Amino acid sequence: MRYLLVLIFMMVSVLVSVAFADQRYDPREQAISDALDLWREGRYEQLYDTLSHRSSVTREKFVSQLKETSLRPSCCHQKLNDFRLIVEKRTTAKVFARLGMESDTGASGNHSREFTLDHEEGRWKMRLSDIKALAAQGQGKKKKR
């Protein structure tokens, strides 16, 4: 009976850890993760709404640019690694992260860089310029499906 209880406890622990596998503890890290998920899922308009410093590009232009890129964030645990807070102020934070990116051609790789996040409307937001810079690395004709 004791072994059965231990087995049940272990199974529940595994299920709980799997269910919360992509929950980030740092709100800045979670902001990057959420933005990358929207990009990967092709929800570009919703992604645009979650970014800061959007005045330089219209929603339509942004959506068009992301549709033209051959890059997108990798899935799951490959998407965001080595997150580090470099400097935090009241309304901005500079962070470092290694992002897994994959191409329509099947190529994949990591892009390590610093990001600036802005604290607006009670939450952290990635800057539009950071998403555009990542997308620009995969500019070119997207493979037809």
We report the CATH number of the domain holding residue 89 as 3.10.450.100
Question: Has residue 141 been placed in a domain?
Answer: no
**Is residue 120 situated within a structural domain?**
yes
pLDDT grade for 143, boundaries at 50, 70 and 90: very low
- How far apart CA 77 and CA 100 sit, in angstroms, is 9
Q: How far apart are the first and last CA of the chain?
A: 55
Do the beta carbons of residue 95 and residue 30 sit within 8 Å?
Answer: no
Give the chain's domain count: 1
Q: Is residue 91 one of the residues assigned to a domain?
A: yes
- pTM of the entire predicted model: 0.77
Q: In terms of residue numbers, what domain contains 53?
A: 26-136
| Residues contacting residue 122 through CB under 8 Å, at least 6 positions apart | none
Q: Looking at the predicted structure, is the pLDDT value of residue 26 above 70? A: yes
Q: Is residue 15 part of a domain?
A: no
Residue 77: the pLDDT is 86
Q: Does 52 map to a domain?
A: yes
142 belongs to a structural domain? no
Is the pLDDT higher at 131 or at 9? Answer: 131
User: Is 102 within a domain?
Assistant: yes
Provide DSSP, 62-130.
HHHHHHH-SEEEPPGGGSEEEEEEEEE-SSEEEEEEEEEEEETTS-EEEEEEEEEEEEETTEEEEBHHH
Q: Would you say residue 16 lies in a domain?
A: no
User: Residue 73: pLDDT above 80?
Assistant: yes
Q: Is the pLDDT of residue 94 over 90?
A: yes
User: Which pLDDT tens digit goes with each residue over 106-120?
Assistant: 777 888 999 999 999
Pairwise CA distance, residues 75 & 19, whole Å? 15
Q: What is the largest CA-CA distance in the chain?
A: 65
The reported pLDDT for the residue numbered 137 is 81
Residue 59 pLDDT: 94
